[in-house]
Structure 1
């Protein structure tokens, strides 16, 4: 296989990864007025689109800061 073909093949394999990294992350908590306490009570934390580790960090942060808005806690823990 010519060298250029291998380089192009390797670059095309990386495109989905680069696109995911470059795309802005969207908040998964849609109710901007929902407090952390209410979000935890509602069971919204069980429907997370995040990986288990990130979801657990958001739940723990909300448990420690129940008066904070849930969307702000999410953004704090995910860096959005």
Structure 2
């Protein structure tokens, strides 16, 4: 399997374990790359485990909108 596929598979597997949480990313135009550069994941409203899953998903999908990555990982 290519690395990207493994990363996505791991991210989606984590989705099954993640509990729904309140949305923490408020800028709908923020890309995952910008989210990671800004260090916004360090001050997340999510638990450390969920914040790490969002960060990993964003790292694998830098062009995706951060708010979409958050919704994917939290189920919100």
Would you say same fold, with TM above 0.5? yes
SS of the residue corresponding to residue 64 of structure 2 reads coil
SS of the residue corresponding to residue 74 of structure 1 reads helix
How far 1:27 moved relative to its partner?
1.3
Partner of 2:70: 74
Partner of 1:17: none
Of 47, 56, 62, the residue aligned with 1:51 is 47
Alignment of structure 1 residues 1-80 onto 2, 5 Å: 25-80=21-76
Do the aligned residues in 1 keep the contact of 2:21 with 2:46 (CA within 8 Å)?
no
With a CA cutoff of 8 Å and minimum separation of 6, indicate the structure with the bigger relative contact order: 2
SS of the residue corresponding to residue 27 of structure 1 reads coil
Do the aligned residues in 1 keep the contact of 2:22 with 2:45 (CA within 8 Å)?
no
What number of residue pairs does the alignment pair up?
58
Do the aligned residues in 1 keep the contact of 2:31 with 2:65 (CA within 8 Å)?
yes
What TM-score, normalized to structure 2? 0.71
Question: What is the RMSD computed on CA atoms of the aligned residues?
Answer: 1.7
Q: List structure 1 segments (4+ residues) > 2 angstroms apart after TM superposition.
A: none
